Structure 1
Amino acid sequence: MDLNTITEVVRRPSERPGADWRDGDAWLAGGTWLYSVEQPELSRLIDLTALRWEPLVRSDEGLEIGATCTIRDLYAQTWPLDWTAGILFHAACEAFLSSFKVWNAATVGGNICMALPAGPMITLAVALEARCELWAPDGSGRFVDALDFVTGEHRNVLTPGEILRRVTIPAHALRRRTAHRRFSLTRLGRSTVFLVGTQGRGGTDLSLTLTAGTTRPVRLDFASVPDARTLRQRIDALPADVWFADANGTPEHRRHLTYHFAEEIRRELTAGDLP
């Protein structure tokens, strides 16, 4: 879609963009959402791809994902054998309701910042205990846990002019055992629910991340794998307004699916037949 209110595109922003942020600005990365709907309030775009941030950086501490890393680049990576959670990267990328053309442009940071309930990069980041590095227009920075970054449908903690620079995943999270479940009304449809369970190698703990069926990501942490009743009680204890409603499912439907898939994940991780 043509954005006919745009009067300027900043093609060469400063290395730490944001100092001259003003009303009417928007960050431009993949642009797959930005160009999909009218944006009458915008007058200037600041092109982040010109900064050529490193998409993926591995280290002994874990993995850094640059905010402008494309879904295509993330999906194409092969991970060390001891990163047993690496299977989640493919699962999250494949959860996108999009064509290969969108994969070539859409970015990890863009999907997280959109704060859609069905945003699969949000699921990935929360399940793997990621932290988000944010840059403010005044040059300061801060870190926010991915679990706390999205606060509701289309809402996040970013302040005007603030930008998501990178997402960091700790090494210990990449070595956890995982199980995941996803449901959509059609084979290639938007997620109605997307659940991820993780467990320490050789451990008895359980972390269960709930997304798509909730307006914000939820993670339920257990020191030891709960029984079915305890797990259901924790789900029941969630606030009623956390369940999401749209054409893909009612809150009641999404809660029902969550009960079902959460129990499947609990049994799978309890069975101990995963790497």
Structure 2
Amino acid sequence: MTVREAGSRAHRGDAEGTAHALRVLRARWRTASIAAGWRFPSDWGLPEVDDVCSSAVREADLTAALAGLGRARAESGAGLDETLTDLAALHAVLTTEDSRDGLIATDPNAAPTQLLRAAALAWADASCGELRNAETTENLTSLSTHAYLRTRLGEVYRQAARAGVPVSDTHALLVVTLDLSSVTGWSRLMAMVLVADVLREVFDGGESIAILGPSVAVVLAERDPFFGDRALHAGWLVTERLTVDPQLASGQRPWLRVERLPDAQEDARALLHRVSRA
């Protein structure tokens, strides 16, 4: 009995030590990546980031984990240059002692070629795959994809041109953004599932609801007298539903805003890209 208790305490100690090492590595990597130029801190953390950290802490081969991260970065809208700079930040963290001020110099040319290759090939494969297989819905939330929303916007702009009215007079884009920078693991995915459920519940009259990034969802809706009330109700429901998870309940409130659609369709597509990385 004594031996089992001692072993149990040792096991708990090892587990706590590993968890602490994961948190420290993740925080140092995020700080270094943002300092190196990562543009949107709220969309840096993905489940695949945790996979890479876990492999690094266990001193396992990083190739498979980095390939998974490369694919995830492409699917979330991050460019290849930004993805590789993030990888260089990871390499700097893994090879540099923690400094007193926490800042680490990142050298984009220092990361091992095999790791860069794994991430870059996976990123490219995911990017090309998105073009080949333009699915209309995202698997996790069942919301429309970025590609489908672009198609839907094209229909709206063609209809507006035929009617001779500006799109900004007929439609609006409601953007729902969550700050998931401090949320890890499956809670990040659950947050967007909850957001998707709320938006489908509130906007149930044929509006186009899409997922644009790891923490961004949008609604393309007609401007009617009840649009503002529905938007406010959606914000209240999202806040309420997030309280089911302690990680999500302790974070910031969701940010809801209405984006005015520009006159030109190309400008609207550029707006979608900016929104997806906000």
TM-score by length of 2: 0.30
Determine which structure has the larger helix proportion and give its number: 2
- Between 1 and 2, higher relative CO (CA 8 Å, sep ≥ 6) is seen in 2
